Amino acid sequence: MPILRRFRRRKAQDTESEGGTTPSIKPSPVVETEEPPSPTPSTSRFILTSPKPMGSLVAESDSLQIDREATQQLAKDANIRPQATVEIVPGKSIRRDAKGRIHIKIVFYGPSLSGKTTALRWLFANVRSLSKGKIVEISDERGRTTFFDFVPVTANNKIVFDVFTVAGQRRHASNRIKVLRDVDGLIFMADSAPEQMNENLASIQELRIALGTDRLTMLPIIVALNKRDLPNALPMEYMIDVLGLEGYPVFETVATNGKSLIRMFQRILRDALIFKVGI
């Protein structure tokens, strides 16, 4: 086969010019193609090679189509502004209701179908140590969140955690960003399926633009890598690296059966309480 002989000669010449050796490659008995060139550091492309999930994965940050200016305008319209000094000091900026109870706002954020509403429903049904109000869901005919899900959770007669999830679909960006106003603690729920990595990247990019660096730096954030029961779930280290979420507490969750949800929820409630009240 002339093509194969030329390919082997070129590989041998490349090896000699680099002064090293490379292992021999056994050609496929069906299809013989040249390997594509590896991406250079200047590209904004991430490729998982080991361990390799079922199928191939290419997450491209340049194809996320998140409009920075439009997102910043949505945040401005939602009255999300740079953090004031008084907000940084625990106990100085507290919201109270007519009964004098302190309200702390927790938001589940992440791409569509990552499991945010499923996690909230599971917690609502299974966290028995907290007193809960009625869960409010606004969804379409397929059960997908179109605005937000909400449930008030009472730790005692002085503290109320208002827990929200947001609609993950791209078209609901305006409603989603409005829910971020006055957030005191955030759970970023990422989808572990390889084909959803671009949506994870789009969601975290939108979140960073909407909240701004100062709020993201100070805000208690928990990372939930959901759907860990998938046979081709992406490695945890890879997801954290690509999403740029190093340093945050990470929980590997399965929202359908509640795996790690209680520990994750306890952690964000504790961190938000310390951040807001200082106790």
What stretches of 83-154 show up as alpha helix (H) in DSSP? 85-88, 116-126
The whole-number pLDDT of residue 184 equals 93
Same domain? 201 vs 91: yes
Give the residue numbers spanning the domain of 30.
1-35
Cβ atoms of residues 64 and 44 within 8 Å? no
How far is the C-alpha of 226 from the C-alpha of 203, rounded, in Å?
Answer: 14
Same domain? 12 vs 106: no
Same domain? 138 vs 243: yes
Strands 221-226 and 185-191: parallel
Token pair listed for 154: 């009472």
Do the domain assignments include residue 53?
no
Same domain? 17 vs 104: no
Same domain? 6 vs 133: no
How far, in whole angstroms, is CA 111 from its chain's centroid?
7
List 187's β-bridge partners, or say none: 108, 222
Same domain? 21 vs 79: no
- Structurally, the chain folds into a number of domains equal to 2
Do the domain assignments include residue 10?
yes
Cβ atoms of residues 109 and 177 within 8 Å? no
Same domain? 30 vs 130: no
- Does pTM top 0.75 for this prediction? no
Same domain? 25 vs 116: no
Same domain? 25 vs 132: no
Do the domain assignments include residue 48?
no
The whole-number pLDDT of residue 172 equals 67
Same domain? 19 vs 148: no
pLDDT tens column, 163-191: 888 875 666 678 889 889 999 999 999 99
How far is the C-alpha of 143 from the C-alpha of 141, rounded, in Å?
Answer: 6
Residues of the chain with pLDDT under 50: 3-4, 6-7, 10-12, 14-56, 58, 139-141, 143-147
Cβ atoms of residues 272 and 220 within 8 Å? yes
The whole-number pLDDT of residue 50 equals 37
> In degrees rounded to 5, what are phi and psi of residue 107?
-125, 130
How far is the C-alpha of 211 from the C-alpha of 71, rounded, in Å?
Answer: 10
